[in-house]
Amino acid sequence: MSKLVTIFGGSGFVGRYIARHLAQEGWRVRVAVRRPNEAIFVRPYGVVGQVEPILCNIRNDGSVAAAMQGADAVVNCVGILNESGKNSFEAVQTEGAERVARIAAGQGIARMVQLSAIGADAESDSDYSRSKGLGEAAVLKFMPDAVILRPSVIFGAEDQFFNRFAGMARMGPILPIAAGDTRFQPVYVDDVAKAAVKAVTGDAAPGVYELGGPEIKTMRALIAQMLDVISRRRVVVNMPFWMAGIMAFSFDMLQAASFGLISNGVLTRDQLRNLRRDNVVADDAKGFADLDIAPVAMESVLPEYLWRFRPSGQYDALQKSASNLRT
């Protein structure tokens, strides 16, 4: 019988790629999510019955235990960028990670993969990074042979980075950004998934891996590359941190005043704290080279999904060509 893996958050941005790859490797895949009826799209990743979404709340012991019953490996992809209601950073990224590791150890599951982030630090002034760091420590306490993956900002068709800024670029001639000089090392989502698969199949040694793409660029340079891909000229304005702080505070207060009905999907104060630090792979960290994976460059992927933000969409290149014809 083929082996079974439970992927917590397996219908999310990264989780769905991991689920697809593991299904292709012949694994049976449980996609543990809060709303399984919204994760039905994962079923065609394998043959009938091979990939199944199931109900799970990572904040509940019984729910997590049931989701991984009989599994040979577990992958935890659950994470949030903004707190809302009971889904706080501590509840999801610290206590949730601890719960998965503790119950996996109790059930005798051999392998665990934890999706973290570059910058994870139990002493960080950012709630997001601190909860990630504490989550890593909790995982290693119960599953010392776990593989922890720390990607930089992740890009891909469903990303919340390039898609967000490309959408903003359609709204007017000025594109405001914060932390224009902060450096990032964007990594392709499929490469992160490949790293997770190697960990699940036992082809990666236990430990922490920092995952970054082949290029390191500032925020301003990334936005310029994005604008070039979508064929739009915009005045990029780098807001000073004090101005960005006022904007982040305003959006946070709007979310609080609406009791969470209006979510701050623009910029939070906690995100701004993270943006003050470079988000690149450390010189002494294990990474893609140790996993025998050659990361994909942005220029070969961005046009595949950002074309819809061009002035003429998929016909933009054709329209440019036609405009050059002599009458």
Backbone dihedral angles phi then psi of residue 59, each to the nearest 5 degrees: -90, 5
pLDDT at 314: 74
Domain 4-154+187-212+278-293 CATH superfamily? NAD(P)-binding Rossmann-like Domain (3.40.50.720)
Taken as a whole, the chain contains a residue count of 327
Look up tokens 């994005």; give the residue.
226
Look up tokens 């040979």; give the residue.
72
pLDDT at 325: 63
pLDDT in tens, 263-293: 888 899 999 999 999 999 999 999 999 999 9
pLDDT at 317: 66
Is the Cβ–Cβ distance between 286 and 208 less than 8 Å? yes
Q: And the tokens for 276?
A: 């003050």
pLDDT in tens, 193-221: 999 999 999 999 999 999 999 999 999 99
Is the Cβ–Cβ distance between 237 and 205 less than 8 Å? no
d(CA 219, CA 11): 28
Q: pTM for this one?
A: 0.94
Helices and strands (H and E) in the chain: how many = 12, 13
Is the Cβ–Cβ distance between 159 and 187 less than 8 Å? no
Radius of gyration of the chain (CA): 21
Is the Cβ–Cβ distance between 130 and 123 less than 8 Å? yes
DSSP letters for 167-228: HHHTS-SEEEEE-TT-EE--EEHHHHHHHHHHHHTT-S-SEEEEE--S--EEHHHHHHHHHH
pLDDT at 318: 64
pLDDT at 274: 95
pLDDT at 186: 98
Is the Cβ–Cβ distance between 251 and 266 less than 8 Å? yes
pLDDT at 149: 98
pLDDT at 204: 97
Is the Cβ–Cβ distance between 231 and 311 less than 8 Å? yes
Is the Cβ–Cβ distance between 156 and 305 less than 8 Å? yes
Is the Cβ–Cβ distance between 253 and 227 less than 8 Å? no
pLDDT at 222: 98
Alpha helices in 25-173 (DSSP H): 61-67, 89, 96-106, 127-142, 162-169
- Residues in the chain, pLDDT under 70: 1, 315-327
Q: And the tokens for 224?
A: 């310029």
pLDDT at 312: 80
